[in-house]
Structure 1
Amino acid sequence: MAKRIKADICIIGAGSGGLSVAAGAAQMGARTVLIERDEMGGDCLNTGCVPSKALIAAARHAYHMGAGAPFGIAPVKPDVDFAKVHDHVHSVIAAIAPNDSVARFEGLGVTVIKEHGRFRDSGTVIAGNAEITARRFVIATGSRPFVPPIPGLDKVPFHTNETIFSNKTCPEHLVILGAGPIGMEMAQAHRRLGARVTVLETLKAFSRDDEELSALVIARLRKEGIEILEGIKIESISGSEGKVTVTLADRREINGTHILVATGRRANVEGLDLEKAGVEYSERGIRVDERLRTTNKRIFAIGDAAGGPQFTHAAGYHAGIVIRNALFRVPAKADHSAIPHVTYTDPELAHVGLTEAEARVKGLSINVLRWHLAENDRAQAERETEGVIKVVTDNHARVLGATIAAPHAGELILPWVLAKSQALKLSAMASVVVPYPTLSEISKRAAGAYYTPTLFSTKTKMLVRFLGLFG
């Protein structure tokens, strides 16, 4: 006999967004049910953000062992034990996992059901032997790697982000399909840990980022020995375990030992019986309005499942929007104009708002401000001078967007996220007192550059001389 559960809110998917909704709702007194068929924590904890950043950290340590010559420190070739690198990555996952565990959420008062969930009708979800009715439902099923229909790919072994972190031996020659954030992060990490790496991209590397600043990162990766081929077409893939060949349309052949597919992601919407609930969707994700409601107003969709920005922090932001709507009946709307994103290469590439190209396509009258790391004392002291901050403003000095290519760009972008989200003018950034010497000074300098032509103009000099006549 089915176990009947009545809830205030039922969430399908225990990734970052689903967990945030569940934790918030339960602690606010709502009867909360959370359904997850796989691992708690979803992609971010188990196969995405956490393991990738742990691998990147290991790679950074390996790289710096051979980069000490400019400081008077003899370079040392790192002795990389890839099995121990694997253990490091998974120990980081294990350290964070308790925060996302069944035990923690049950302790918060959430009813956790480890089964596949699907809709029976517009107000009921079936999960194992449980039948859940709720006032509101949230679909937070995330996404999975998109595997392109390349002839032969389905007949050779290949990795995605879901399997690459299980490797205990370093690939001899890793061929990466896709030069977006995941592909480029994994390219540099594996190169620094000893692999030969070739990246194949049908369009342009970092095609969604500012072209000027992404070029700096691409140049750095190539300098480290990563082969990046852009604008290519893959004809076919063949081979077997440890020996794969990618044949390009111009008949060139790329021979490698491993393949990593990093060609984007697809929303997990299959198997939910969304039709029975009156929820419209496509392969891009579930259709939602500004309040993240689906075509069934009792059901919300968040994160990757909603087809929007595919970032963990975007899913967390969506969770707050849903809680306000579902529990408090506040008509909160999602605004994605100030959602930042970061690629964790070295240097990092961080962005928020409009790029220069996007602003020009919109026909906006803009100002473009730049400040180079070479003019920053902290960057000089650490010999990390390859980088730029680029800020786009309107003619009223309001921030439209910012991009940073620099060490720790993911940290440096935050004040610009605040400026964009709160419609601040550059005067707010230019007037703050920044500790010296820090990389943060580049933000103040870039903002100050907007006022430099006026501040040091002929009119200003004349005014100073005139006022000087009065003592």
Structure 2
Amino acid sequence: MTFTHDVIVIGAGAAGLTAAGGCALFGLEVALIEGHKMGGECLNNGCVPSKALITAAKRAAVARDGKRFGITLCAPQVDWAGVHGHIHQAIANIEHHDSVETFEEMGCDVFRGWARITGKHTVEVDGRQLRAPRIVIATGSAPFVPPIDGLDSVPYLTNENLFDIDVLPGHLVIVGGGVIGMEMAQSFRRLGSEVTVIEPGEPMGRDDPDSVAVVVDAMTAEGVRFIKGKAARVEGGEGRVSVHTDGGDTVTGTHLLIAVGRSARVNGFGAQEIGIETGANGFTTDARRRTSIRSIYAIGDCREGPRLTHVSGYEGSNVALEIVTGLPTKVDFSALPWCTYTEPEVAQIGLTEVDARKQHGDAITVVREEFSENERAVAEASTLGHMKMILKGKKVLGVSIVGKNAGELLLPFTQTITGKSSTFALGSAIISYPTRSEISKAAAFSAWEPTVFGSLPRKYAALVSKLRRMMN
């Protein structure tokens, strides 16, 4: 077979762009195919617009708490058109990084159209046949829409159209208490909407329950209403939608947001037709992210596994390195971090306490430090939250943090969990004062405190002291 390229990448989101750009920068001939918007989910209706909205909502929250620190602020006046403009300006300011021009400058051939995989080395786009030794599928995911009775007859929002609404919701009803649901619930409440969250289980169920409890209490205090139950039926129309739960509750709002997870985009690309296997929610891959057809990789949200932008970038880098060097690479999620950008933030890396106890039972220990003991937090009057370090012996299995800027504190633990550093090194580090990151040093030092100040070191110190007295 005569190849047109060294690699064909389908999808220009975080995963696909990283893989395509990495290969192109090494001089490979890369075909990058995108049928919708360059930048994918994160840029257009995920990370970027949601964080822009969260930032605007924080401004309103600060102004609403008008008398603090001896400073009096005016009550906020929320201009939804201005908030909307801020969101889309943030997208516009970033989108050049993901543009066709940028990737053409890197050396990619960019094709704007819908791809169809026709063989283990061939892809068709707009009637043109492309051929390469390796194909990378990075088609992402879409909002999962559950089978709720009546949902198809009422207007509803997902993250794909939420940031395009032209009015601030009077009452936003959110089905789903995961990351998107919780972040949007707090943000719209802070901007002035009534907000009700309907969730059958516990909010943010993959996170540490102690951390989540702090956030739920904070959001409840701000006026977010939580209803435990499953959305069973909806009815209504534009401006008035009612959700009936299986527990007998009924909530009526002006807008309905469905935020119950993601579905991998696996259909419509010809993948199943040529025999690529899929699982419950995405393409099935091995640790190298190869599909059942070994010349074809699947990375990012379209394969089974964690759905996070930084995971997509990580997998894109791994696959690019494997294609460029010919050497196998494998994913390692032992130090996988994630963060929910509520206020306070909830950040996690590695195992939660619950998961660690399931795997290791009573062999684990938990070190807990409170932000109320962190002097920067005290000075800022922002002491809500804590850090929990989960250890087996001296090995860190996971860290759970809830508090202001919690996600910023995860970095050192990416090193300690993977064994590239140690809690001893972290506990003895010189850290700028006063900073919130001192809580990481405090937790690491606490892990070693019984050893450092144990009976053997104390006996040694006593011996040194005795000898010194005798010599002087």
**TM value normalised by structure 2:** 0.96
Partner Cα distance (1:306, 1:234) in 2: 28
The one-letter amino acid of 2:150's match is G
The one-letter amino acid of 1:444's match is K
The one of 28, 44, 52 equivalent to 2:26 is 28
8 Å contact kept, 2:344–2:404 = yes
Paired position in structure 1 for 2:386: 388
8 Å contact kept, 1:398–1:424 = no
The one of 173, 180, 187 equivalent to 2:178 is 180
Partner Cα distance (2:246, 2:180) in 1: 24
The one of 143, 146, 149 equivalent to 1:145 is 143
Paired position in structure 2 for 1:154: 152
The one of 244, 267, 271 equivalent to 1:247 is 244
Greater Cα offset, 460-469 or 280-289: 460-469
* Runs of 5+ unmatched residues, structure 1: none
8 Å contact kept, 2:140–2:300 = yes
Partner Cα distance (1:121, 1:250) in 2: 50
Partner Cα distance (2:280, 2:36) in 1: 21
The one-letter amino acid of 1:155's match is S
CA shift, 1:236, in A, is: 0.6
The one of 46, 49, 54 equivalent to 1:48 is 46
How many residues in Structure 1 have an aligned counterpart in Structure 2?
466
Paired position in structure 2 for 1:116: 114
The one of 270, 273, 283 equivalent to 1:273 is 270
Q: 1:23 is paired with a residue of what secondary structure?
A: helix
Paired position in structure 1 for 2:256: 259
**C-alpha distance 336-456 of structure 1, shift in aligned 2 (>3 A):** closer
The one of 207, 210, 213 equivalent to 1:209 is 207
Taking the TM superposition and a 5 Å limit, the aligned residue runs for 1:320-359 are 320-359=317-356
Task: Encode CA deviations 1:284-308: one digit per residue, 9 max, x unaligned.
Answer: 1001111111111110000111121
Taking the TM superposition and a 5 Å limit, the aligned residue runs for 1:283-298 are 283-298=280-295
CA shift, 1:127, in A, is: 0.7
Partner Cα distance (1:129, 1:180) in 2: 41
CA shift, 1:233, in A, is: 2.4
CA shift, 1:234, in A, is: 2.1
Partner Cα distance (2:209, 2:44) in 1: 31
The one-letter amino acid of 1:8's match is D
The one of 85, 88, 92 equivalent to 2:86 is 88
Paired position in structure 1 for 2:301: 304
Partner Cα distance (1:29, 1:78) in 2: 53
Paired position in structure 2 for 1:376: 374
Q: 2:251 is paired with a residue of what secondary structure?
A: strand
8 Å contact kept, 1:122–1:276 = no
The one of 436, 443, 446 equivalent to 1:446 is 443
Partner Cα distance (1:117, 1:59) in 2: 39
> Does residue 189 of structure 1 match 2:174?
no
Taking the TM superposition and a 5 Å limit, the aligned residue runs for 1:311-322 are 311-322=308-319
Task: Encode CA deviations 1:331-359: one digit per residue, 9 max, x unaligned.
Answer: 11111221211100111111110111111
Q: 2:306 is paired with a residue of what secondary structure?
A: coil
CA shift, 1:241, in A, is: 0.6
Paired position in structure 2 for 1:9: 7
Q: 1:148 is paired with a residue of what secondary structure?
A: coil
Greater Cα offset, 45-54 or 243-252: 243-252
CA shift, 1:456, in A, is: 4.3
Task: Encode CA deviations 1:216-244: one digit per residue, 9 max, x unaligned.
Answer: 111111111101123x1222110001101
Paired position in structure 2 for 1:126: 124
- RMSD of the TM alignment (CA)? 1.5
Paired position in structure 1 for 2:97: 99
Partner Cα distance (2:268, 2:242) in 1: 35
CA shift, 1:17, in A, is: 0.7
Q: 1:385 is paired with a residue of what secondary structure?
A: coil
**TM value normalised by structure 1:** 0.96
Paired position in structure 1 for 2:198: 200
Partner Cα distance (1:276, 1:178) in 2: 34
Greater Cα offset, 192-201 or 449-458: 449-458
Partner Cα distance (1:18, 1:462) in 2: 59
* Runs of 5+ unmatched residues, structure 2: none
CA shift, 1:75, in A, is: 4.3
Q: 2:325 is paired with a residue of what secondary structure?
A: coil
CA shift, 1:72, in A, is: 1.4
8 Å contact kept, 2:374–2:438 = yes
> Does residue 282 of structure 1 match 2:279?
yes
8 Å contact kept, 1:44–1:312 = yes
Identity %: 43
Greater Cα offset, 458-467 or 448-457: 458-467
